[in-house]
């Protein structure tokens, strides 16, 4: 019935996550996924319409868990808004340069690969990244409101700029196997959040 159903479906997703975070989407076959999950191959299509929709479900499941952790970090007691934000970036730094596939960033891993390949998966990535950035923007607003961040910060723009920065640094971290890009992002994040000036409209001069 539905409980069992959801359990096994989720079990497939959970088992697949670190494998796909390691090898990517196209490079992994259903056999490998289902052997690891110890679920017979024939069952797969009972739970998922196709590999593509399985990928969409994997991303939805990933972002659901990610956003829950983000929510916990950004609503922690005993810290001001700036500190809560920095704890998120600090965690990002720690997880993305380690060896644990389980905690790697799915946006970095699959963003480039599947956005041109599958519209359902692209849209799942779109929904997920929008939620993350939007929650970060709220976090910045909270920091401005409690006085721990400069009040001339434009929350939505700043959230996007910071997320971009960390995304790019994480790509380079994968390529370099070295956390220097992430450290540079950490410095720059502190700089932006401390010394911010309003993001300006383009001057058109250049």
Shortest approach of a second copy to residue 67 CB, angstroms? 16
How many beta carbons lie within 10 A of that of residue 49, not counting itself? 11
19 scored as a contact of DNA (CB under 7 A): no
Q: Which of residues 143-162 bind a second copy (CB under 8 A)?
A: 157, 160-161
Binder among 44, 74, 140, 165 for a second copy (CB under 8 A): 165
Shortest approach of a second copy to residue 106 CB, angstroms? 9
Name which of 21 and 137 has its Cβ closer to DNA.
21
Q: Residues touching a second copy: how many (CB under 8 A)?
A: 58
Taking alpha carbons only, the member of 12, 22, 108 closest to residue 57 is 12
State the Cα–Cα distance between residues 181 and 165, nearest whole angstrom. 10
30 scored as a contact of a second copy (CB under 8 A): no
Question: CB of 167 within 8 A of CB of 149?
Answer: no
Name which of 25 and 166 has its Cβ closer to DNA.
25
Q: Which of residues 21-40 bind DNA (CB under 7 A)?
A: 28-32, 39-40
Instruction: Pick one of a second copy, DNA, none as the site partner of residue 172 (Cβ within 5 to 8 A by kind).
Output: a second copy
Segment near DNA (CB under 7 A), from 42-50, 73-81, 98-106, 125-133?
42-50
State the Cα–Cα distance between residues 194 and 43, nearest whole angstrom. 53
1 scored as a contact of DNA (CB under 7 A): yes
Binder among 15, 36, 115, 134 for a second copy (CB under 8 A): 115
Full DSSP string of 112-176: HHHTTT-HHHHHHHHHHHHHHHHHHHHHHHHHHHTTSS-TT--HHHHHHHHHHHHHHHHHHHHHH
Binder among 122, 131, 134, 141 for a second copy (CB under 8 A): 122
Burial of 84-102, coded b for 16+ CB within 10 Å and e otherwise, reads bbbebbeebbeebbeeeee
Taking alpha carbons only, the member of 63, 174, 56, 53 closest to residue 108 is 174
| Residues across the chain | 206
| Interacting residues with a second copy (CB under 8 A) | 22-24, 26-27, 82-83, 86, 90, 107-117, 122, 125-126, 129, 157, 160-161, 163-172, 174-177, 180-181, 184-188, 190-191, 195, 197, 199-203, 206
């Amino acid at each position: 019935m539905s409980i069992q159903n959801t359990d096994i479906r989720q079990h497939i997703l959970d088992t697949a996550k670190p494998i796909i975070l390691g090898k990517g989407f196209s490079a992994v076959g259903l056999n490998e996924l289902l052997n690891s999950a110890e679920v017979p191959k024939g069952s797969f299509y009972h739970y998922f319409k196709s590999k593509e929709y399985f990928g969409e479900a994997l991303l939805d499941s990933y972002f659901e868990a990610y956003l829950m952790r983000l929510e916990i970090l950004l609503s922690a007691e005993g810290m001001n808004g700036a500190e809560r934000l920095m704890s998120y970036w600090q965690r990002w730094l720690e997880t993305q340069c380690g060896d644990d596939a389980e905690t790697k960033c799915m946006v970095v891993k699959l963003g480039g690969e599947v956005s041109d390949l599958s519209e359902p998966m692209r849209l799942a990535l779109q929904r997920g990244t929008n939620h993350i950035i939007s929650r970060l923007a709220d976090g910045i607003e909270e920091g401005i409101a409690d006085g721990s961040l400069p009040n001339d910060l434009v929350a939505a723009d700043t959230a996007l700029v910071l997320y971009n920065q960390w995304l790019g640094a994480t790509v380079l971290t994968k390529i370099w196997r070295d956390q220097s890009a992430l450290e540079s992002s950490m410095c720059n994040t502190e700089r932006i959040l401390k010394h911010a000036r309003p993001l300006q409209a383009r001057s058109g001069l250049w």
